[in-house]
């Protein structure tokens, strides 16, 4: 099974594609970001996210997509990220993707056993689960990988 994790954002959308084969450790196939320039008109930034995500979905052949639910401390950024997340969900729906959504606390709980874990703890769990020697960069990609792992762990019958 291939699970694509997506960490929504307007400036950077993180993604991580992880393959799970029963009896084998999970394999990170691809990760990175879709990036939009801050000085670009909002509509053009959303088009970039939409087009790049469509291309990523065509290449990834994901069986499931895990998307982070919105959670923000600052209201100023929330609306722009919500707009980007809407475009992401639209692209996923158009492709007929199976989607699961998780809050940051659910991801932290799944990977560390503690819903208020710090980012380094989650990154350590990602490295451990995928047997990596360093944290995938940038952070948005590592967060997306954590979403993919959470989707796997949350599926019935998985550890």
Catalytic residues: 7, 68, 140
Quote the longest CA-to-CA distance of the chain: 47
Q: Could you please report the per-residue DSSP string of 96-141?
A: T--EEEE-HHHHHHHHHS-TT--HHHHHHHHHHHHT-SS--SSHHH
Contact predicate 111/125, CB 8 Å: yes
Q: 61 and 1 in contact (C-beta within 8 Å)?
A: no
At 147, is the secondary structure helix, strand, or coil? helix
């Amino acid at each position: 099974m291939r699970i694509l994790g997506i960490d929504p954002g307007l400036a950077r959308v993180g993604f991580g594609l992880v393959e799970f084969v029963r009896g084998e450790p999970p394999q990170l196939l691809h990760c990175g970001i879709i990036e939009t320039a801050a000085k670009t008109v909002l509509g053009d930034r959303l088009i970039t996210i939409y087009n790049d995500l469509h291309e990523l979905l065509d290449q990834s052949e994901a069986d499931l997509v895990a998307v982070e639910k919105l959670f923000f401390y600052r209201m100023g950024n929330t609306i722009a990220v919500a707009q980007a997340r809407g475009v992401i969900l639209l692209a996923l729906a158009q492709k007929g993707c199976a989607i699961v959504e998780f809050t940051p606390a659910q991801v932290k709980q799944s990977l560390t056993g503690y819903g208020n874990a710090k980012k380094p703890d989650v990154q350590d769990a990602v490295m451990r689960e995928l047997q990596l020697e360093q944290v995938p960069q940038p952070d948005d990609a590592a967060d997306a990988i954590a979403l993919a792992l959470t989707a796997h762990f949350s599926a019935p019958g998985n550890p």
